[in-house]
Amino acid sequence: MNTYNINSIYNDIFNSYPNVEIEEHIKKLIELDFYYPYNSTFFCITNTVHQNFEYISKNFTACTGIPKKNMEEGGMDYFWSLFHPKDIQLWLACLQDLMKFTMTELDNQQRKRMSYTWNYRIKNAKGDYITIIQNTTPLQFDETNKPIIGMAHYTVLDLDLNMDICACAKYLNDKKEYETLFYKNMSSNNLLDIISNRERDIIRLLISKKTSTKIAENLNISKHTVDTHRRNILKKLKLTSTFELISYFKNNPKLI
């Protein structure tokens, strides 16, 4: 798929108005680093109206070997040109499904408390394809409350890591904890698809060493419910302990 076609589809997904107001963004992106294997990270402020980057952190070059000015001058067209050809259609499907979910299933207040995650591969300066997990939190919305400017946090994983492309939407609840509202494996159906959204949240909190009591408090559910989920998770994944669960996750970062 050439850049023109990507641009056209992207515009359809993020068809927006440029005159908007700045909203307070969710300050939780850095915590997500904890859940992934050893990695490098960089940040960008993305603008879907002008299809450019309002800001690119200096660590972009350290992570990819690509000069930051290439992104500053080329914008999203340049970034898209780095995508692995096999990932483009699935990545666009991620955006379409996440935008449809946002505009049809969430109210205006919920949209301001969401964080979105998807993944893909890009070509680095050496010509190798590296896996990127992108977490984006909306900063600014158009007149229809569609997110158009966001803080994007990019996690660069090992070169030899083979991941299905997945889409995820998390809501920051009143306890300042993420709750998964949407998750979809765009590449295939596999074992990880048997894990429910609530179970994903519990796994994420278990990995961060929170107790059942604390998890219950953060997710506004009972400790009994948390313990039931814990037993079901281990049974579904055919594991015997939380320690095994953490080890399992290290090889399956797409789970969260």
Q: What confidence tens digit (pLDDT) does each residue in 95-113 have?
A: 899 989 998 999 988 988 9
Alpha-carbon gap, residue 25 to 62, rounded angstroms? 26
Residues listed for the chain: 256
Alpha-carbon gap, residue 129 to 113, rounded angstroms? 32
Alpha-carbon gap, residue 195 to 23, rounded angstroms? 33
Give pLDDT tens digits for 6-59.
Answer: 666 667 656 654 444 334 343 454 455 455 555 588 989 898 888 999 888 888
Q: Does residue 209 register a pLDDT over 90?
A: no
Report pLDDT for 2: 59
Find the CATH number of the domain harbouring 199. 1.10.10.10
Q: Does residue 94 register a pLDDT over 80?
A: yes
Report pLDDT for 7: 67
Q: Of 142, 163, 188, which residue is a domain's last?
A: 188
177 with 193, same domain: the answer is no
238 with 211, same domain: the answer is yes
- Number of structural domains the chain divides into: 2
Residue indicated by tokens 């179970």: 199
Q: Does residue 83 register a pLDDT over 80?
A: yes
Q: Of 162, 188, 214, which residue is a domain's last?
A: 188
24 with 76, same domain: the answer is yes
Identify whether the C-beta of residue 230 lies closer than 8 Å to the C-beta of residue 200. no
pTM of the model: 0.76
68 with 26, same domain: the answer is yes
Find the CATH number of the domain harbouring 181. 3.30.450.20
Q: Does residue 226 register a pLDDT over 50?
A: yes
Report pLDDT for 1: 57
| Confidence category of residue 149, pLDDT binned at 50, 70, 90 | confident
Q: Of 188, 203, 237, which residue is a domain's last?
A: 188
Other C-beta atoms closer than 10 Å to the C-beta of 24 total: 8
164 with 110, same domain: the answer is yes
* Mean pLDDT, residues 77-87 taken together: 94
Identify whether the C-beta of residue 152 lies closer than 8 Å to the C-beta of residue 45. yes
Transcribe the chain into DSSP letters: --HHHHHHHHHHHT---S---B-PPP--GGGGGGGSSS-EEEEEEEETTTTEEEEE-THHHHHHS--HHHHHHHHHHHHHHTB-TTTHHHHHHHHHHHHHHHHHH--HHHHTTEEEEEEEEEE-TTS-EEEEEEEEEEEEE-TT--EEEEEEEEEE--TT-----EEEEEEE-TTS-EEEEEEEESS---GGGGS-HHHHHHHHHHHTT--HHHHHHHHTS-HHHHHHHHHHHHHHHT--SHHHHHHHHHT-GGG-
* Mean pLDDT, residues 135-157 taken together: 87
214 with 110, same domain: the answer is no
Report pLDDT for 227: 94
| Confidence category of residue 61, pLDDT binned at 50, 70, 90 | very high
Report pLDDT for 3: 58
Give pLDDT tens digits for 65-75.
Answer: 999 999 999 99
162 with 107, same domain: the answer is yes
Identify whether the C-beta of residue 165 lies closer than 8 Å to the C-beta of residue 21. no
50 with 164, same domain: the answer is yes
55 with 130, same domain: the answer is yes
Residue 155's alpha-carbon distances to 22, 113, 149, in angstroms, are 25, 21, 19
55 with 109, same domain: the answer is yes
Identify whether the C-beta of residue 82 lies closer than 8 Å to the C-beta of residue 51. no
Alpha-carbon gap, residue 129 to 147, rounded angstroms? 29
Give pLDDT tens digits for 228-254.
Answer: 999 998 888 888 888 888 777 765 655
49 with 24, same domain: the answer is yes
* Mean pLDDT, residues 66-91 taken together: 94
Report pLDDT for 22: 37
Residue 214: give the domain boundaries. 189-256
CA 101 to chain centre: 15
Closest Cα to residue 123, out of 176, 164, 66, 166? 66
Give pLDDT tens digits for 156-197.
Answer: 987 767 788 999 999 999 988 999 999 988 887 665 568 889
179 with 236, same domain: the answer is no
